[in-house]
Amino acid sequence: MKIWHPFTQEKTAPLPLKIVRGDREYLYDEAGNSYIDMISSWWVNILGHSKPEIADAIAKQAHVLEHVIFAGYTHEPAEELVDILSQHLPKSLSKFFFSDNGSTAVEVALKMAYQYFLNKGINSRDIFVNLEGAYHGDTIGAMSAAGVNSEYHSKFKKFFFETFSIKFPKNTEDEVTSIDKLQQFLKQNHQKVCALIVEPLVQGAAGMKMYSPEFLDKIVETVRRYDILVIFDEVMTGFYRTGTMFAMNQTQNIPDIVCLSKALTGGFMPMSLTVTTEDIYNAFWSDDWSKAFIHGHSYTANPLACAAACATQKILQRSEIKQNIQQISETHKVRLAELSSKDILTHRSCGTISAIDLSSVALAKHIAKVMLQNGIIIRPLNNTIYFIPPYCISQQNLHKAYDLLEGHLGHDV
């Protein structure tokens, strides 16, 4: 095998399945077997696979302009995309910086926040506050932002910048303790803190861990007392995953910076955006070159990716998609409430995401295997099984996933 696959122990993992085609919620392998993509291929394909309108938009754009350097040049697909997103984002988030993926959207946010203070003549603010269990991507800055205790990245901690982790609350009493500890830390250290970074409402890679908008609002209000910036990493939660266009639509407070990627282009092209306020932008606006944001990627705002994103965002606003999102959310709630097995520790849902913590990692692995044999793709996170389907999934297929899960609980593995 010449290809080295991501997040894979190559020695012990089964050989990768060769996928040759996608259509709506289905993926097809070489032998013609179909699979329901219950995880939207790492949470990106919100509208399903090979959506013709998105494919056509990319093809049309490819015949006109496939790419152009974005420093000193602009183009229609980028401008159109920004206009579309501006209709859905809070008015205060009005400055759009393009990059290529979720990790770079986070890197941009971190660097922007840090340089914001530098440009204002403040060079003491270099600590970031995060929420325990966070995942913000795999580049060094994004790993650092998640903190030294990250189960994915701790072996690289030598390279990390300093962070303070807010304890993830298990219940409302816990929330009070978490906020108290944050307050104590800030009393001593607030002049050293640059920004808070959080995945709002749902921590994806941590195992779809969910927390309340009220808790998030409390965190934000606590840090804002000290002029600390607020970054929402909506790379996973954006574009109706949590039921609303953005998770921030469920909170009282709006962040200073938001990171968007994954579903932005409907899973067709890699692209991301870091969107911020006029206030932050103005701190970079200067006759002095050194105050500019010296950051960019070769493929920044690639026109094909922008065309894919414009098509995706237009489809996303259709009433039938909104109805599907509503139905998926309802089905999650109903089916989770009906689950009853000694193998289930807890379950939860938020919008189109549902998660079930099982009694062991081995059981989660076993169920993933059985599901695959029965034509459903899932990818457990430790002992957590989760469903995060494309919005086009039929109710029949969603029920099929729950039926299979139910059918395989309560047996010895």
Binding site for ligand PLP (CB under 6 A): 101-103, 106, 135-137, 199, 204-205, 233, 235-236, 261
Residue 315's nearest CA partner among 21, 53, 2 is 53
CB of 206 to ligand PLP, least distance (A): 9
Residue 19 pairs with which residues in a beta bridge? 29
CB of 98 to ligand PLP, least distance (A): 14
Burial classification of residue 320, based on how many CB atoms lie within 10 Å of its CB (0-12 exposed, 13-18 middle, 19 or more buried) = exposed
- Cα separation of 81 and 259, whole Å? 15
Tell me which residue has its CB nearest to ligand PLP. Answer: 102
107 vs 357 by CB, closer to ligand PLP:
107
- Cα separation of 384 and 117, whole Å? 40
58 vs 231 by CB, closer to ligand PLP:
231
276 vs 331 by CB, closer to ligand PLP:
276
CB of 390 to ligand PLP, least distance (A): 16
CB of 173 to ligand PLP, least distance (A): 27
- Cα separation of 200 and 216, whole Å? 7
85 vs 206 by CB, closer to ligand PLP:
206
Residue 207's nearest CA partner among 343, 354, 338, 101 is 354
Alpha carbon separation from 155 to 11, 28, 144, 151 (Å, rounded): 20, 37, 11, 9
- Mapping DSSP onto H, E and C, the string for 138-190 reads CCHHHHHHHCCCCCCCHHHHHHCCCEEEECCCCCHHHHHHHHHHHHHHHHHHH
CA angle 138, 269, 368 (to 5 degrees): 60
203 vs 324 by CB, closer to ligand PLP:
203
The first and second tokens of residue 132, run together, are: 């325990």
CB of 282 to ligand PLP, least distance (A): 27
CB of 102 to ligand PLP, least distance (A): 2
CB of 148 to ligand PLP, least distance (A): 18
208 vs 223 by CB, closer to ligand PLP:
208
CB of 47 to ligand PLP, least distance (A): 18
- Cα separation of 330 and 319, whole Å? 17
Please enumerate in sequence order all residues whose Cβ is within 8 A of that of 48, keeping only pairs 6 or more positions apart, or say none. 22, 23, 24, 25, 37, 390, 391, 392, 393
Tell me how crowded residue 54 is: count the other CB atoms within 10 A of its CB: 24
CB of 380 to ligand PLP, least distance (A): 15
104 vs 331 by CB, closer to ligand PLP:
104
152 vs 293 by CB, closer to ligand PLP:
152
Residue 121's nearest CA partner among 361, 286, 311, 301 is 286
48 vs 207 by CB, closer to ligand PLP:
207
The first and second tokens of residue 254, run together, are: 């709006």
